[in-house]
């Protein structure tokens, strides 16, 4: 167990060692047990987490706020449009000032080409840790909860096959952050990672290269598949969700037009039957029901999406307790 994590930023899990991530998981499971039996664990009494949102949220806001309350502290919610950011507050000023008011700063900023750089600029100026609640490149707390769920449902992840797949959605052109963070962390833990996506929906090449290197080091594997059905075959974990064609076009309307070619990329009962009999279906939510995934799958026996959503709470509490 690593004990020197106070003050550490978490912007991507790739910047933490595997031992450090194991520490987070170990504490997350412990906190989940404590929560289940009503054992108090106010490790952050009287501490404040400043939460700055540039993008809407359900699970992220609720889980961070609940987590801070359960840890004995307070989560201070700020929506960017109700701050002075639009009137001149810079990333440096946000880092300097909020870092003096709080014990940690959490940010969600997913604008393409802006979010990650903004979070890193705040972290540079802050005297307290900055936690990435999602940027356009990474979603580390979601992926820690995902790995926690895989371990709960499938045991040791080494050698298990996960199908990280694109799926069509009509709602909006979603960030690359979930699939990118997922292929990075799954390859760190020795999984056989299958990235299934149409040719226009590539992930960032530097992220793919890191995943390939992670797989070599962990004795896992990494492959890219462009056939939707093929991605399901023999999978232990099916994680199929939408993302935008950001590397093909920066225009959201054009990305949506490209996506129209792939409306049949929906996780349905026939596709789930191609996976292993005991495969689990995962999605970070919200899902476009009967567009990304059928009701029969997301509400069916393979689905673990609500356990996955619950684990956001426990994984984030572990990160906050260790870093703040």
Q: How far apart are CA 276 and CA 233, in angstroms?
A: 7
pLDDT at 250: 87
Q: How far apart are CA 251 and CA 51, in angstroms?
A: 29
Write 34-43 long-range contacts (CB < 8 A, 24+).
35/70, 35/313, 35/314, 41/70, 41/71, 42/70, 42/71, 42/72, 42/73, 43/71, 43/72, 43/321
Other CB atoms within 10 A of residue 2 CB: 15
Question: Tokens 């232990």 sit at which residue?
Answer: 236
* Residue 237 near residue 183 (C-beta atoms within 8 A): no
Which CATH number is 13-139+311-323 given?
Answer: 3.40.50.1370
User: Domain ranges in the chain?
Assistant: 13-139+311-323, 142-309
Residues of the chain with pLDDT under 50: none
* Residue 160 near residue 191 (C-beta atoms within 8 A): yes
- HSE value, Cβ hemisphere, 13 Å, CA-based, for 37: 7
Q: How far is CA 175 from CA 190, 201, 226, 250, in A?
A: 25, 11, 19, 12
pLDDT at 116: 98
- HSE value, Cβ hemisphere, 13 Å, CA-based, for 185: 27
* Residue 280 near residue 303 (C-beta atoms within 8 A): yes
pLDDT digits over 12-51, tens only?
999 999 999 999 999 999 999 999 999 999 999 999 999 9
pLDDT at 80: 87
Q: How far apart are CA 225 and CA 307, in angstroms?
A: 28
Could you please state the CATH topology (level 3) that the domain comprising 142-309 is classified under. Answer: Rossmann fold (3.40.50)
pLDDT digits over 119-141, tens only?
999 999 999 999 999 999 999 99
Residue 39 CB contacts under 8 Å (≥ 6 apart), including other chains: 33
Residue 54 CB contacts under 8 Å (≥ 6 apart), including other chains: 80, 107, 108, 109, 110, 111, 115
Q: Is 7 helix (H, G, I), strand (E, B) or coil?
A: coil
């Amino acid at each position: 167990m690593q004990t020197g994590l106070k003050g550490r930023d978490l912007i991507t899990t790739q910047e933490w060692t595997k031992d450090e991530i194991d520490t987070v998981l170990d504490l997350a499971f412990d906190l989940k047990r404590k929560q289940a039996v009503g054992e108090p664990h106010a490790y952050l009494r009287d501490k404040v987490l400043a939460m700055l949102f540039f993008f809407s949220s359900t699970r992220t806001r609720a889980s961070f706020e609940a987590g801070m309350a359960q840890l004995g502290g307070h989560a201070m919610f700020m929506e960017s449009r109700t701050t002075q950011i639009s009137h001149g507050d810079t990333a440096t000023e946000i880092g300097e000032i909020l870092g003096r008011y709080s014990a940690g700063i959490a940010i969600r900023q997913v604008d393409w080409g802006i979010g990650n750089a903004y979070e890193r600029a705040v972290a540079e100026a802050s005297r307290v840790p900055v936690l990435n609640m999602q940027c356009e490149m990474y979603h580390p707390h979601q992926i820690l909860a995902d790995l926690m769920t895989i371990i709960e449902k499938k045991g040791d992840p080494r050698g298990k096959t996960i199908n990280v797949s694109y799926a069509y959605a009509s709602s909006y052109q979603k960030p690359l952050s979930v699939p990118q963070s997922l292929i990075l962390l799954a390859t760190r833990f020795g999984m056989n990672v299958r990235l299934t996506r149409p040719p226009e929906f590539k992930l960032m090449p530097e992220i793919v290269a890191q995943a390939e290197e992670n797989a070599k080091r962990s004795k896992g594997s990494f492959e890219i598949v462009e056939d939707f059905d093929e991605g399901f075959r023999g999978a232990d974990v099916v994680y199929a969700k939408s993302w935008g064609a950001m590397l093909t076009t920066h225009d959201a309307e054009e990305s949506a037009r490209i996506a129209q070619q792939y409306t049949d990329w929906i996780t349905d009962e026939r596709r789930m039957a191609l996976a292993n009999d005991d495969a689990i279906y995962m999605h970070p939510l919200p899902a476009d029901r009967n567009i990304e995934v059928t009701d029969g799958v997301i509400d069916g026996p393979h689905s673990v999406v609500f356990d996955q959503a619950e684990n956001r709470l426990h994984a984030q509490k572990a990160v906050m307790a260790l870093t703040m």
